[in-house]
Amino acid sequence: MNMPATPAQPAVMIDTERKTFKVARRSFVDPQILRDEYRTIFDRCWLYLGHESELQKAGDFVSRIVAKRSILFTRDAQNKINAFFNVCPHRGAQVCRERKGNAKSFQCFYHGWVFGADGKLKSQPGQECYPEDFNSEGGANLVPVPRLDSYRGFWFICFDSKVESLPDYLAGAKEWIDIVADQSEAGMTLVGGTQEYQIRANWKLLTENSVDGYHAINTHATYIDYLKNSQGSMSPVPFDGTGYDLGNGHAVIEYRAPWGRPVAQWIPLWGEEGKVELERVHQRLIERFGKERADRIALYNRNMFIFPNLVINDIMAITIRTYHPTAPDAMQVSGWALAPQEESAWARKYRLSNFLEFLGPGGFATPDDVEALEQCQRGYENMLEAPWNDISKGLNKERVNYDDELQMRAFWTQWQQRVQASAGI
Amino acid sequence: MTTLANVTRDQVEDFMYLEAELLDEWRLKEWLQLFTDDASYHVPATDIAPDASPDNDLFYVADDRFRLEQRVERLLKRTAHAEYPKSKTRHLVSNVRIRERREDELLVGAAVVTYRTKSGLTETYIGSYRNRLVLTPDGLRIREKRCVLDMDGLKPNGRISIIL
């Protein structure tokens, strides 16, 4: 069935009898849909801002684009974490033009207004020309984002002050964030260095791709070849696992895989030194959480998606990835490596080596994902005559596999509720 | 006799131009022969120090000799989807300088602009090389190739699927 789509049809079509789940390709192409997505999703949902480890000391700051806004993320002198719109209350210039650093205050270079890391106006040239109570109501301070909250070191913002609480929003995803956060006793930290890139494809394609267990064998054939060629870089563990709908559009796949994990699946390549180290790490997890949970943390992989644009993949290394659409066919992607603060230099080195083998725009796998996404976007130019994507795999089963398409259906069901209910498409 | 002490910039330039030509003609196995057995190939992320170590910071690319060989093998397969059909590339190497003569290696700097064209789109990678070269009986060889990008991330480039 690939009948023509009509504007009257919903973007998501589910046929429960025939067990099919289809998504209209115009959802990836139509500029009006992107505007609706900003209004109903990016302006309304909790969005990932940054990781606590990016602001270690008082005065540390990061400036970052989130959903087209320039956001200033700071730790102030009282050690409180803040998020402000990076715009001078005076005449609107961006107050901070650096990407990150440490500062006692921020001075807008245009007219010289100075703000503390707590956002409060500290001084302005020509103060005598303003009334004494000029800022008594705080109108000359940096404007804080309406909502800011964190869960286990992951900081989120929301532009809708009436949004549900972050714990409620994260729903079932919290338990899975715990599994990542529990890998360290001292706290997880971002490793230095950001992978930033642009993909010429709709942002929802990366959502689907990030939790897609089905494409690995084909798209990543050369990565699997590489693992086979590297002496000792595979353990005798077959790919196997399950997908879960975590509520509110979040989803995860959890599975075993043959690659090494710094916490903590040993591979022969890592030698005796690595074996001792990984056994120590695993043993400590058992002490802290008992064997069952320790094994789950150490031996299972997770690709997790948090609606609408955060991916936490705990695989051969841990990556945090967030992305923002700038056009129907363009998104800006940022990727980071997350690691236990206390891990040894040995583990850090192998973690980063593992990361680069697979992940990121110079790895042995991600470039092929980028190619696949861009090819899909090109394919959608045929959408008038060939209008539907199919994500039905596993819809006929009770218990889905990690390589079924439940995760994407969880996303699209939430997407449809938010965009279509409001837009009346 | 050529020794490390008297290698000239001309010789270094010839060597770098040869390397660029082999890459642009996709003669990657021959290109690999320009590297020593302990060679590495590095492209750091654009928000860390140019001399950062891949043991501590996240890079785009950090290959040892083995992974470099695997990269070449991968790129020559039709299952390297990002480079199938193969893109057309042109590496323009300029501003070549011998920055330092060490006891056993030369520190060479150069500016590089690489164009990659595929499916009607041309992307540009702008950066500098900070390479360490050694002299062997077969001539100059690369011990470390480091391409430091003068860019704010890979925008609009979505990938480094070619060798820079």
Distance from CA of B57 to the nearest CA of A (A): 5
Which of B52, B59, B74 minimises the CB distance to A226?
B74
Residue A423 clears pLDDT 60, i.e. is over it: no
Whole-number pLDDT of residue B157: 86
Q: Which residues of B fall within a CB distance of 8 Å from A355?
A: 58
Q: A168-177, A198-207, A393-402, B61-70: lowest mean pLDDT where?
A: A393-402
The pTM (predicted TM-score) of the whole model is 0.95
In chain B, the largest separation of any two C-alpha atoms, in whole Å, equals 48
Distance from CA of B130 to the nearest CA of A (A): 18
Q: Which residues of B fall within a CB distance of 8 Å from A354?
A: none
How far apart CA A269 and CA A260 sit, in angstroms, is: 9
Q: Is residue A206 within 8 Å of A323, Cβ to Cβ?
A: yes
User: And the tokens for B5?
Assistant: 């002490």
* Element of type H or E holding B72: helix B65-75
Q: Which residues of B fall within a CB distance of 8 Å from A364?
A: 70-71, 74
- Cβ–Cβ below 8 Å for A195 and B153: yes
In chain A, the largest separation of any two C-alpha atoms, in whole Å, equals 75
- Cβ–Cβ below 8 Å for A193 and B59: yes
Whole-number pLDDT of residue A136: 94
3-state secondary structure of A53: helix
Please provide residue A124's backbone torsions phi and psi, each rounded to the nearest 5 degrees: -145, 140
Whole-number pLDDT of residue B34: 98
Residue A232 clears pLDDT 90, i.e. is over it: no
Residue A86 clears pLDDT 90, i.e. is over it: yes
Whole-number pLDDT of residue A382: 96
Distance from CA of B43 to the nearest CA of A (A): 8
Using H for helix, E for strand and C for coil, what is the string for A198-238? EECCCHHHHHHHHCCCCCHHHHCHHHHHHHHHCCCCCCCCC
Whole-number pLDDT of residue A359: 87
Please provide residue A57's backbone torsions phi and psi, each rounded to the nearest 5 degrees: -115, 155
Q: What percent of chain A has pLDDT over 70?
A: 97
Residue A211 clears pLDDT 90, i.e. is over it: no
- Tell me whether residue A43 is exposed, middle or buried, using C-beta atoms within 10 angstroms of its C-beta: 0 to 12, 13 to 18, 19 or more: middle
Predicted confidence band of residue A33 (pLDDT cuts 50, 70, 90): very high
Distance from CA of B68 to the nearest CA of A (A): 11
Using H for helix, E for strand and C for coil, what is the string for B30-71? HHHCCEEEEEEEEEECCCCCCCCCCCCECEEEEEEHHHHHHH
Residue A1 clears pLDDT 50, i.e. is over it: no
Whole-number pLDDT of residue A425: 46
What is the overall mean pLDDT for chain A?
94
ipTM above 0.90, yes or no: yes
Distance from CA of A204 to the nearest CA of B (A): 16
Bridge partners of residue A168, in order along the sequence: none
Bridge partners of residue A253, in order along the sequence: A243, A303
- CA-wise closest residue to A402 among A280, A253, A277: A253
Bridge partners of residue B129, in order along the sequence: B110, B147
Q: What is the DSSP letter of B158?
A: -
Segment B137-146 shows an average pLDDT of 97
- Interface size A-B, in CB pairs within 8 Å, comes to 132
3-state secondary structure of B78: coil
Residue A6 clears pLDDT 80, i.e. is over it: no
Which of B60, B80, B83 minimises the CB distance to A361?
B60
Q: Which residues of B fall within a CB distance of 8 Å from A191?
A: 56-58
Segment B12-25 shows an average pLDDT of 98
- Cβ–Cβ below 8 Å for B62 and A368: no
Predicted confidence band of residue A8 (pLDDT cuts 50, 70, 90): low
Segment B14-21 shows an average pLDDT of 98
Q: Rounded to whole angstroms, what are the CA distances from A81 to A48, A148, A169, A310?
A: 14, 9, 21, 20
Residue B1 clears pLDDT 90, i.e. is over it: no
Whole-number pLDDT of residue A224: 87
Collect all residues with Cβ–Cβ distance below 8 Å to A195 and sequence separation of at least 6: A333, A334, A335, A336, A359, A360, A361, B45, B58, B60, B153, B154
Residue A333 clears pLDDT 90, i.e. is over it: yes
Buried b (16+ CB within 10 A) or exposed e, B74-97: bbeeeebbbbeeebebebebeebe
Which of A196, A353, A357 minimises the CB distance to B155?
A196
Triad A144, A145, A150: Cα angle to 5°: 110
Residue A62 clears pLDDT 50, i.e. is over it: yes
Name the packing angle between helices A345-358 and A221-229 (round to 10°). Answer: 140
Q: Which residues of A fall within a CB distance of 8 Å from B74?
A: 222, 225-226, 364
Q: A10-14, A37-41, A164-168: lowest mean pLDDT where?
A: A10-14
Whole-number pLDDT of residue A276: 94
Segment A148-176 shows an average pLDDT of 98
Segment B119-125 shows an average pLDDT of 94
Q: A1-10, A15-24, A60-69, A297-306: lowest mean pLDDT where?
A: A1-10
Q: Which residues of A fall within a CB distance of 8 Å from B54?
A: 352-353, 356
What is the overall mean pLDDT for chain B?
96
Higher pLDDT, A93 or A422: A93
Segment A198-211 shows an average pLDDT of 95
How far apart CA A240 and CA A229 sit, in angstroms, is: 22
How far apart CA A18 and CA A341 sit, in angstroms, is: 50
DSSP-derived secondary structure for B111-143? EEEEEEEETTEEEEEEEEEEEEEEEETTEEEEE
Write out pLDDT tens, residues B44-100.
999 999 999 999 999 999 999 999 999 999 999 999 999 999 999 999 999 999 999
3-state secondary structure of A304: strand
